[in-house]
Amino acid sequence: MKIVHIESGLGNQMLSYAEYLVIRKLNPSDQCYIETITYDIPECNDVICQWNGYELERIFGIQAPNIRSCFTQKQWLEIINDVRKSEYWNNGWRYAAAITEALNHQGLKLINYLGNDEKYRLKESFLERMTNNRIGYDLKRYLRPLYEKKYIQKWNCSSKIFIQTEENVFAGQTLGLRNRDVDIGFVKEEIINSFRFPEMKDEKNLQAADQIRNCNSVAIHARRGDLLQSNGYCYQYGYFKRATKYIKKRISDPAFFFFCDTGSIEWCRSHLDIFGLDMKKDKINFINWNQGLEYYRDMQLMSICKHNIVTSSSFGWWGAYFNNNPDKITCSPSVWLNTTNHF
């Protein structure tokens, strides 16, 4: 038995489901399930936004077997209660240990392949704090050729994703399939077939899609909101300026399309200098109507742009990944992200 954890927003859900596809492909004779307990615990949403809950079925029609189906209603309530008692959302977000233990209390014999997820997350946040200033950021960027290979290896999660074993394991949510040196091509066909967007029918998106296809379109995913804590440096230290400058030198007459959370559209419009853009000199468009349950249309539109500028958001990364332009330029600020360029 293999169980793959899924939580958070759409981009992360897609990454975790892709891990499920990997594990299922490597273990064809085993039972493989997804697990979505976090969405059943309201307290989790108070710490890390779970957005609209589990959405892969609603948007893509994915019907993966859920481990919940293996238990009676009484057993499932006991599992939820056990997990809630752990209060992992207040304890370093140590969901792997808490959920594995709760499932095992009901008769499973799972091995937690994610290990001590608290330490893993703390190391990441410590590294962010160490470079959370202009001097540290610039020093790290200039020294990139010296540490790049080692840093990519450090964030390689292959051992936690490409699991082939007869053991019963709890895995998933490493988000590592967006990282460099991780072979996402292993399940590329399955991914493309799983994540097919519903047909666009509304006039605004159809017009935007037509405009995007008929120009040298560049998507800028400027998601702020809940990700400012981790992506704030992109706006402070010149990342977007370097990315747009690079594209302008290589792409004839580029047209920039902004995609971001609803509350940030006007901010971006008023701070175009942060992006190295000028309303009088550059072609700039703002996509601001895909809200509520239709927000995923932004990812769909980003995917048909010819080039992409993203942050560390998995939502934006998927837009760049689905871009099938053979000459695409995809820019990110993190050397470990699987994009063509890093700034």
- For residue 79, is pLDDT > 90? yes
The CATH number of residue 265's host domain is 3.40.50
Q: CA–CA separation, 236 vs 311, rounded Å?
A: 13
- Both 204 and 188 in a single domain? no
Report, as an integer, the average pLDDT of 310-316: 95
- What mean pLDDT, rounded, does the chain reach? 93
**How far, in Å, CA of 64 to CA of 197, rounded?**
17
Place of tokens 């690079």: 246
Range of the structural domain that residue 38 is part of: 2-192
Same-domain status, 181 and 288: no
Q: How confident is the model at residue 127 (pLDDT cuts 50, 70, 90)?
A: low
Whether residue 154 is predicted with pLDDT greater than 60 in this model: the reply is: yes
Pairing of strands 254-259, 341-342: unpaired
Over range 64-70, report the average pLDDT: 98
Task: Say if residue 38 is in the same domain as residue 170.
Answer: yes
Out of 192, 212, 247, pick the residue that ends a domain.
192
> Is the same domain home to 128 and 277?
no
Alpha-carbon distance values, 49 to 82, 160, 212, 227, 290 (Å): 22, 24, 31, 10, 19
CA–CA–CA angle 51, 55, 56 (5° rounding): 145
Helix 314-321 / helix 10-26 crossing angle, nearest 10 deg = 60
Amino acid 144: pLDDT = 81
Please tell me whether residues 171 and 212 are part of one structural domain. Answer: no
C-alpha separations of 219 from 10, 23, 151, 303 in Å: 18, 32, 27, 9
CA distances from 148 to 142, 151, 200, 334, 337 (A): 11, 5, 40, 10, 11
Q: Are residues 53 and 188 in the same domain?
A: yes
Task: Note whether 300 and 321 are within 8 A (CB).
Answer: no
* Number of domains observed in the structure of the chain: 2
User: Do residues 240 and 282 make contact, with C-beta atoms less than 8 angstroms apart?
Assistant: no
Looking at 165, 192, 219, the residue that finishes a domain is 192
What does the alpha-carbon distance between residue 152 and residue 32 come to, in Å, rounded to a whole number? 29
Q: What is the pLDDT of residue 109?
A: 96
**Both 113 and 223 in a single domain?**
no
Confidence tier at 124 by pLDDT (50, 70, 90): very low
Is the pLDDT at 341 greater than 90? The verdict is yes
Sign of the CA dihedral 101, 103, 106, 108? Answer: negative
Beta bridge partners of 164: none
220 and 183 within one domain: no
pLDDT at 279 over 90: yes
Query: Tokens in use for 326?
Result: 């053979």
Mean pLDDT score, 180-208: 96
Give pLDDT, residue 113: 95
Cα separation of 335 and 147, whole Å? 10
State the pLDDT at residue 200.
97
Residues 83 and 209 in one domain: no
Asked whether residue 119 carries a pLDDT value surpassing 50, the answer given is no
Q: Provide mean pLDDT across the span 92-117.
A: 93
Q: Is the pLDDT of residue 130 over 90?
A: no
114-136 mean pLDDT: 62
Q: Do 204 and 171 share a structural domain?
A: no
Do 4 and 16 touch, CB atoms closer than 8 A? yes
Q: Which helix (H) or strand (E) holds 169?
A: strand 169-171
The answer to whether residues 241 and 305 belong to one domain is yes
Fill in the amino acid letter for 301. Answer: L
Task: Assess whether pLDDT exceeds 70 at residue 328.
Answer: yes
- Which of 173, 192, 211 terminates a domain? The answer is 192
Position 224 scores a pLDDT of 84
**C-alpha to C-alpha distance for 234 and 163, rounded to whole angstroms:** 34
**Residue type at position 56:** L
Query: Per-residue pLDDT averaged across 98-127, rounded?
Result: 78
pLDDT value of position 122 = 40
Is there a single domain that holds both residue 185 and residue 50?
A: yes
